[in-house]
Amino acid sequence: MNTVASAAPYHHGDLRRALLDSATAILTETGRWDFSLREVARRAGVSHAASYRHFTDKEALIAAVALTGYETLNTRMTTAIDEATGAVGTLRAIGQAYIGFGVANPALYRLMFGQALPSIEGLPPAVLAVLTEARAVLRGVILAGARAGAFAIDPEDEQEVSVAVVTAWSLVHGFTLLTIDRVVDREVRPQVIDPLAARVAERLIIGLLPTQGRK
Amino acid sequence: MNTVASAAPYHHGDLRRALLDSATAILTETGRWDFSLREVARRAGVSHAASYRHFTDKEALIAAVALTGYETLNTRMTTAIDEATGAVGTLRAIGQAYIGFGVANPALYRLMFGQALPSIEGLPPAVLAVLTEARAVLRGVILAGARAGAFAIDPEDEQEVSVAVVTAWSLVHGFTLLTIDRVVDREVRPQVIDPLAARVAERLIIGLLPTQGRK
DNA sequence: CGCTCAATGTTACCACCGTCAACACACCGC
DNA sequence: GCGGTGTGTTGACGGTGGTAACATTGAGCG
C-alpha cells in the first residue's frame, strides 16, 4: 500500500491527507512553520500520537508538506512553459510562475527552502527527485534557447549552460525570498511586485541576449 | 579574559557576551539554529534561567546573534569596497565579499535570513538599521557607477536604480542560499564555488554594462 | 566600616512538546 | 464466527521555553 493515497484507510478515512491539510492550513494561516505536531493532530480531530502511524517523524511530516509545495511549483512552471512561446518568452514565463508561487505562498516557500533540513542531503528521495526535475526543466529551457541562438550561450559548453542555469535560479530564488521577507521594499504593495519582478528579470535577460539582440 | 569596553555586569563578568559566544559556537559546530536556550546556558556554565536577565526571549537571543552577523557582513562589504577600484570592480568585490561570508558561515547566514522571525517587521530596531545600511551601501555603489557612466543606468531614475539594487542583491542572496543548501551543485567543491560565483556575477554585470562596453 | 539595595544568578515549578510503549478497537480474510 | 493486523488512544518520559520566589553579591552611601 502506501504512497499517494487514493484508497481510503480504515478508521478515520484518510488521516494522512487530513494531517497534511491541517499542517498546510496552520502554515498559511499563521505564516509559521514551527507548529507543533500536537496542534496538527488536534486540528485533525485526532489524538496526538496518531501521526506516528503515518509519519515516522515530525520532520517527515514537514518534508511531506514541502513535497506538495515542490510538486505544485513544478506543475506551475511546466504549464507556464507550455503556454509560452520563444526562448526569451519561456524564460520570462518560468520566472514569473516561480516568483508568483513563492509570493502567493510565502510560508510554504520558506518551509520548502529554509527549513530545519540541515542540508539537501538527508531529504526524502521523493523531494530530491522533484528538485532535480525542476532543475532539469530550467536547464532544458536555457539549452533550447541557446541552440536556437536566442541567448549568447554556447549550447555545447556544459559549464556555460550551468552558469546560466545557476544565475537564473539564483536571481529568481533570491528575489522571491527578499520579497517574502519584505527586505526588498517594505512599503511595496502586491500590485507593485509583478512589474518589479519583470524589470529585475529583464536585467538578467539582457545579460543573456546576443549582442545584436540588445536595444 | 580582557577588559571590557563599556559595561561589565556583576557576577559572571560578562554573561551576555558569554551567552552570545556559546550560541555562536553551537551554531557553527552543529550547523543548526534550533538549539535550546538551556543548552546555551549549560555551555556558558550557568543556570538555564540566567539568560532571561540579559535577553527577554529566546527570539531576542537569536536576533542578537543575527545582529552580530549583519555587522560583520557589513564590515566585510565596506572594506571590500574600500579596496576595490572602478564601478565594476567595486560591484564585483562587494558581491564576492557577500557570497564569501555566506558560504563561510552557512548556519549563521541561514539564521540571519531564514529564521523564526516571521517577517522583517518585528525585528529589533538595531537589526533593521543594519539591514537598511547594507542596502544603502549597495545603492551608493550602483549609483556611483551609473553617474560615472559605467552602467547603463540613468542615475536620476530612482526606480531604475532600485531595480538594479534589487537585481544585484537577489542574485547574490539567491546564489548564496542555493550554494549553502547544496541545491546548486551537489558535487561542487569549495574551490569551485569562487569561479562559479564569479561567472554568475559576470552574467549580471554584462546586463548592466552600456552597449559599447560589451565584448 | 557597615548597611542597604538593586542587579544578577539559582531553584522550583508550570504547561507544553516530541516520542515511545502498551493498550483498544475495527475491519479484513478465513 | 475468529484471529490478526492496520489504525487510533492513553499514559508516560525527558526535555523545553518561560515565570516567580529565593539567594547572592557588589556598588554606593552614611
Query: Does pLDDT of A215 surpass 70?
Result: no
Cell numbers describing residue A2? 502506501
Using pLDDT thresholds of 50, 70 and 90, give the confidence band for residue A121: low
Residue ranges in B51-189 assigned as alpha helix (H): 58-83, 87-104, 106-114, 125-147, 158-180
Contact A74, A131 (CB under 8 A): no
B171–A199 C-beta distance less than 8 A: no
Per-residue pLDDT tens over the stretch B176-188:
999 888 776 654 5
Residue at A2 is within a domain? no
| B211 backbone φψ class: left, alpha, beta (φ>0; ψ -120 to 50) | alpha
Interface probe, candidates A171, A184, A187, A194, chain B, greatest B C-beta count within 10 A: A171
Do B181 and B93 have their domain in common? yes
Cβ contacts of residue B202 below 8 Å, gap of 6+? none
Cβ contacts of residue A1 below 8 Å, gap of 6+? A7
Using pLDDT thresholds of 50, 70 and 90, give the confidence band for residue B2: very low
Do B64 and B33 have their domain in common? no
Residue at B64 is within a domain? yes
* Averaged confidence pLDDT in chain B: 85
Do B108 and B27 have their domain in common? no
Using pLDDT thresholds of 50, 70 and 90, give the confidence band for residue B5: very low
CATH at A137: 1.10.357.10
B171–A167 C-beta distance less than 8 A: yes
More confident call, A126 vs B174: B174
Residue at B7 is within a domain? no
B31–A118 C-beta distance less than 8 A: yes
The CA–C1' separation of A67 and D8, in angstroms, is 26
Q: Identify all chain A residues contacting B194, using CB atoms and an 8 Å cutoff.
A: none
CA A180/CA B120 separation, integer angstroms: 9
The whole-number average pLDDT for the span B117-128 is: 72
Chain B residue at shortest CA distance from A174: B174
- Which stretches of chain A sit within 8 Å of chain B by CB? 31-32, 34, 110, 113-114, 116, 118-121, 131, 135, 162-164, 166-167, 169-175, 177-178, 181-186, 196, 199-200, 203-208, 211, 214
Using pLDDT thresholds of 50, 70 and 90, give the confidence band for residue B71: very high
Residue B79: how many other CB atoms lie within 10 Å: 12
Query: Does pLDDT of B3 surpass 50?
Result: no
Residue at B6 is within a domain? no
Strand D contact with A9 (CB < 7 A): yes
Do A110 and A100 have their domain in common? yes
Chain A residue at shortest CA distance from B169: A174
3-state DSSP assignment of residue B19 = helix
C-alpha pair distances (Å), B56 with each of A209, B41, B71: 53, 14, 21
Do B102 and B192 have their domain in common? yes
Residue at A187 is within a domain? yes
Query: Does pLDDT of A100 surpass 90?
Result: yes
Give chain B's domain count.
Answer: 2
A119–B167 C-beta distance less than 8 A: no
Chain A window 31-50, residues with Cβ within 7 A of nucleic strand D: 46-50
Q: Identify all chain B residues contacting A110, using CB atoms and an 8 Å cutoff.
A: 114
Residue at A79 is within a domain? yes
For residue B46, the 8-state DSSP code is S
Do A166 and A84 have their domain in common? yes
Query: Does pLDDT of A3 surpass 80?
Result: no
CA B75/CA A58 separation, integer angstroms: 39
B113–A110 C-beta distance less than 8 A: no
Determine what percent of chain A is predicted with pLDDT higher than 90. Answer: 59
Do B146 and B183 have their domain in common? yes
Do B28 and B65 have their domain in common? no
Do B110 and B193 have their domain in common? yes
CA B93/CA B78 separation, integer angstroms: 10
Do B92 and B20 have their domain in common? no
Q: Contacts by A11-14 with C-beta closer than 8 Å and gap 24+?
A: A12/A46, A12/A50
CA A125/CA B52 separation, integer angstroms: 42
3-state DSSP assignment of residue B107 = helix
Q: Name the least confident of A32-36, A166-170, A190-194, B95-99.
A: A190-194
The whole-number average pLDDT for the span A130-145 is: 92
Buried/exposed A117-148: b ≥16 CB within 10 Å, e otherwise: beebeebeeebeebbeebbeebbebbbbbbee
Q: Name the least confident of A3-7, A175-179, B66-70, B72-76.
A: A3-7
Cell numbers describing residue B56? 527577554
CA A55/CA A148 separation, integer angstroms: 47
Range of the domain at A27: 10-55
Residue at A155 is within a domain? yes
CATH at A40: 1.10.10
Do B74 and B88 have their domain in common? yes
C-alpha pair distances (Å), A42 with each of A38, A100, A111, A196, B42: 6, 32, 21, 41, 34
Do B30 and B129 have their domain in common? no
Using pLDDT thresholds of 50, 70 and 90, give the confidence band for residue B190: low
Residue at B101 is within a domain? yes
Which residue type, as a one-letter code, is found at position B7?
A: A
